[in-house]
Amino acid sequence: MPVQIIATEGLFTTAAEEKLFADLTELLLELNGLSDSAFMRPNVIGEITSVNNGRTFSGGKPANIVIFELKVPSIVLPTRDLQLAWISRGTDLILAAAAGKITKDRIWGNVVHAVDGLWGINGHAYSNEDLGAVLSGQRAAF
């Protein structure tokens, strides 16, 4: 499931970026009870995009920012408590990775749920139902 982090350049070191992405992956898997899922772990994918200074904005003015976005089927983070935990704990991970270079009020997160996604994994188009069946062990992965 794609995780995208967009940040003003210079907020993270390369090592901090790698640790942050690994930590967000672990958080996502943990919150969904999938930490041991051999199927899901390699399918938490994404990137960290650094945007040139002066090209990120808040309130219409240049500002250092971080946005973390998650695009997932509706079976992922399905409850309000899990969604709140993703945003709260994810924000804390970003604060730690930035090592004082950004404040909490300059970090935004969102989760986009697809009502019935078309999740292309290993050349197969999974529906939300297909993914649920694979993750619950009711069906083998394609």
What domain range is 28 assigned to?
A: 2-116
Instruction: Please answer whether residues 97 and 15 qualify as being in contact, where contact means their C-beta atoms are separated by less than 8 angstroms.
Output: no
Q: What is the residue-level pLDDT of the chain in tens, covering all 142 positions?
A: 899 999 999 999 999 999 999 999 999 999 999 999 999 999 999 999 999 999 999 999 999 999 999 998 888 999 999 999 999 999 999 999 999 999 999 999 999 987 776 788 888 888 888 888 888 888 888 8
- Specify if 131 maps to a domain: no
- Specify if 136 maps to a domain: no
Give this prediction's pTM.
Answer: 0.91
**CATH number, position 93:** 3.30.429.10
- Specify if 41 maps to a domain: yes
- Specify if 103 maps to a domain: yes
> What is the model's pLDDT at position 38?
92
**Residue reference for tokens 């040139």:** 52
- Specify if 87 maps to a domain: yes
Tally of domains in the chain: 1
- Specify if 16 maps to a domain: yes
- Specify if 126 maps to a domain: no
Q: Report the alpha-carbon distance of residue 93 to residue 141 in Å, rounded.
A: 31
